[in-house]
Structure 1
Amino acid sequence: MTMLRFFAKGADLLAGAAAILAGISLLFITAVILIDVIGRYFGSPFYGARDLVQMAAVIVVFGGMAYADRNGGHIQVDILEQVFSPGLNRVLTAAGYMIGAVVFALIGWNMWAAAEMSALLNMSTNLLNLPRGPFEQITSILAWATALCLVERVLDRVFGAKGAK
């Protein structure tokens, strides 16, 4: 197995794991909202539902990013694709993926710093006092996973079979 295929397989596994985590979080959100709505009907809403939904929603969003990238789910504008040469299109596409990788790496780095600050200041959610740091660390890891998946796409675009297109 070539190094590019090995890296692509690792990116697929990483994106799949992130998607599973996002899916579990989405099911959790659905259950919390369902319990809250039923509880409201009977005059007893689910205390802390908003805190739980907010924290889980972050995992849903960032967990789905790597999976969306692996499946071509991110928005791509191809208005000028017919105007440029295939080589220039390949370079521009790789540059776009690299910019995305840098942005997600910076998001991950900033979220990790925020997690450290949250731990230092004992920051927590409003109602349930859930510590924010672990959720920010998970967000950071998921952002780095997306950055790695985008780096794999850069390598594939430049050196792989897709790069020949």
Structure 2
Amino acid sequence: MAALRILRRFLDGLYTGASVLAALCLVAILVLILLQMLARWTGEVFPGAPEYAGYAMAAASFLAFAGALNNGAHIRVGILLNAAGPRMNWLLEVWCFAIGSAVAWYFVWFARRFVYWSWKFGDVSQGQDKTALWMPQSLMLVGAVILAIALTDNLLSLIFTGRHRMRQSVVGEGG
């Protein structure tokens, strides 16, 4: 049981760490926008700022997915789940988490190949920044791996304990 507690602490820390990195990416977007505004006001040029902001937005999105899932912030259609009995509800949730996990791991598999080939061929962005594309793609891949782990974690928790690890959404009645 001690190993499971250590694993649970690690996974919760992983999800929290990814959320913190996502927040830092959003701060980076703010800083980039402010620097670009300042550059325009002073007549200077800040090449690549829009591209870097785009990379940070993609990284923020993917890094935040797992934390959003576990905090109940993803959109779920709860009408069918609310109408189903406890056994059917459990089966539907297992089915949803199984499909979600499979799709996420499928995405990870091909995203990994995508990053590898971008690195292998030396792909660079077409903007003024000429950034090696494998770098921003790697952050997307890391976020996708963490999301796949979170979906699998919820699936296994649901199978073995009868409950998923998602908190109830406080924003709406989605789930």
Please give the TM-score of this superposition, normalised by the length of structure 2.
0.84
- How far the C-alpha of 1:49 sits from its partner, in A, is 0.3
How many residues are aligned here? 163
Could you say if the C-alpha distance between residues 2 and 99 of structure 1 is closer, same or farther in structure 2, counting changes exceeding 3 Å? farther
Listed as ranges, the matches of 1:16-95 within 5 Å are: 16-95=16-95
| Structure 1 match to 2:140 | 139
Q: Aligned Cα RMSD in Å?
A: 1.9
Q: Which amino acid aligns with 1:151?
A: T
| Structure 2 match to 1:155 | 156
Q: Answer yes or no: is the 8 Å Cα contact 1:22–1:59 preserved in 2.
A: yes
- How far the C-alpha of 1:94 sits from its partner, in A, is 1.9
Distance in 2 between the 1:107 and 1:129 partners? 26
- How far the C-alpha of 1:92 sits from its partner, in A, is 0.7
Listed as ranges, the matches of 1:106-121 within 5 Å are: 106-121=106-121
SS in 2 for 1:75: coil
Could you say if the C-alpha distance between residues 113 and 33 of structure 1 is closer, same or farther in structure 2, counting changes exceeding 3 Å? same
1:44-102 C-alpha deviation (Å, 9 max, x unpaired): 24221012111111110000001101111111111123432111111111221222222
SS in 1 for 2:123: coil
Q: List runs of 5+ in structure 1 lacking aligned partners.
A: none
Q: List runs of 5+ in structure 2 lacking aligned partners.
A: 165-175
Percent identity over paired residues: 25
Could you say if the C-alpha distance between residues 112 and 29 of structure 1 is closer, same or farther in structure 2, counting changes exceeding 3 Å? same
Distance in 1 between the 2:122 and 2:97 partners? 36
Distance in 2 between the 1:62 and 1:161 partners? 28
Q: Answer yes or no: is the 8 Å Cα contact 1:38–1:45 preserved in 2.
A: no
Q: Which amino acid aligns with 2:18?
A: A
Could you say if the C-alpha distance between residues 82 and 149 of structure 1 is closer, same or farther in structure 2, counting changes exceeding 3 Å? closer
Matched, 1:98 2:98: yes
